[in-house]
Amino acid sequence: MDEAQQFNLTWVPQDHSDAAYSENGSAAAVSSLIPTTDQELEPIVNPWDIVLCTSGTLISCENAIVVLIILHNPTLRAPMFLLIGSLALADLLAGVGLVTNFVFAYLLHSDAAKLITIGLIVGSFTASVCSLLAITLDRYLSLYYALTYNSERTVTFTYLMLIVLWGASVCLGLLPLMGWNCLKDESTCSIIKPLTKNNVAVLSVSFLLMFALMLQLYIQICKIVMRHAHQIALQHHFLATSHYVTTRKGVSTLAIILGTFAACWMPFTLYSLIADYTYPSIYMYATLLPATYNSIINPVIYAFRNQEIQKALWLICCGCIPSSLSQRTRSPSDV
């Protein structure tokens, strides 16, 4: 017996190999009992699902801190902080949705559980995107109506925005449970089962429209900021220099916001318009994962860079405020 035959026999129990040789007297009988490469077991857990679950855990922890800070501090009740809290809550629910989707996918094989988790993810990410649009609108209105925007009407308008965006997000999240799915006809499935391709296309087009609106608001904000800076420069040179630094930070912050938003969401949005469930799943994971990163970056851009939230965080953690924060005044670049 040669070395190759001896190696193959180690995959087969000894009694079976002896019986095979006694019956047929050839190595062909033994080779039929040897596992081939096509029969190798696949990984029990998809590594991409592990990455998404890890991302969801980080999103949940990070945004939970922001929500707790805003709830814990009564002074953070201005419209700006209400919108930041809405964004953090939406991202927190998105992270919870990613984690529960992982748990249900491997522990609870149920169509109802799948519909619930997908609905939670769709609704929370919709609320996150709408909150970003609401924050951009708030920044625009605060500059356009600089003298009259901070009033009771502003608070009322903010609450109305929150009611509308969360109402729309909850409705979209409930639609999979109410029949907005492809469980009865798998050929209509999109890259996000069990949503249909047509419905995902509607969501993607809506996202593109919201991004176009955010971009238009950003352009208008830049025009207002530059016009104000020019007017101040004509009156006071010293104040113009200080105002220029502040407005430059604000404009750069908005550029970072939109650039990050587009870089994270555009790949998944464009891919969902052209692909369906027959495409390799690796493409879906590769485009969806950057979209989740937007919820990781949002607290850094909107919350942790804000001086009021920094002060509240320092008070919660160590009971004091650093002198570098207590001596600074809040500027538009904080948001």
CATH number at residue 254: 1.20.1070.10
Which contacts qualify for 9-14: CB closer than 8 Å, 24 or more apart? 11/35
Domain shared by 11 and 115, yes or no: no
Number of helices and strands in the chain (H, E): 12, 0
Domain shared by 36 and 55, yes or no: no
Percent of the chain beyond pLDDT 70? 74
Domain shared by 12 and 74, yes or no: no
pLDDT of residue 1: 45
pLDDT of residue 226: 76
Domain shared by 222 and 328, yes or no: yes
pLDDT of residue 325: 60
What is the domain extent for residue 99?
47-334
Look at residue 196 and give its three-state secondary structure.
strand
pLDDT of residue 13: 40
Give the contacts of 222 (CB within 8 A, at least 6 positions apart).
Answer: 251, 254
Domain shared by 141 and 175, yes or no: yes
Domain shared by 188 and 319, yes or no: yes
pLDDT of residue 18: 45
Angle between helices 281-298 and 47-72 in degrees, nearest 10: 20
Mean pLDDT by 10 residues, the chain (335 residues): 40 41 42 40 78 95 94 86 94 96 86 89 95 91 78 84 95 88 86 87 92 91 76 60 59 78 93 88 92 93 85 75 56 43
Q: What is the pTM of this model?
A: 0.79
pLDDT of residue 34: 40
pLDDT of residue 238: 52
Domain shared by 22 and 163, yes or no: no
pLDDT of residue 95: 96
Domain shared by 7 and 118, yes or no: no
Domain shared by 100 and 6, yes or no: no
Domain shared by 128 and 268, yes or no: yes
**312-325 residue pLDDT tens:** 887 777 766 665 56
Domain shared by 109 and 9, yes or no: no
Domain shared by 94 and 202, yes or no: yes
- Are 293 and 299 in contact by the 8 Å Cβ rule? The answer is no
The number of domains in the chain is: 2
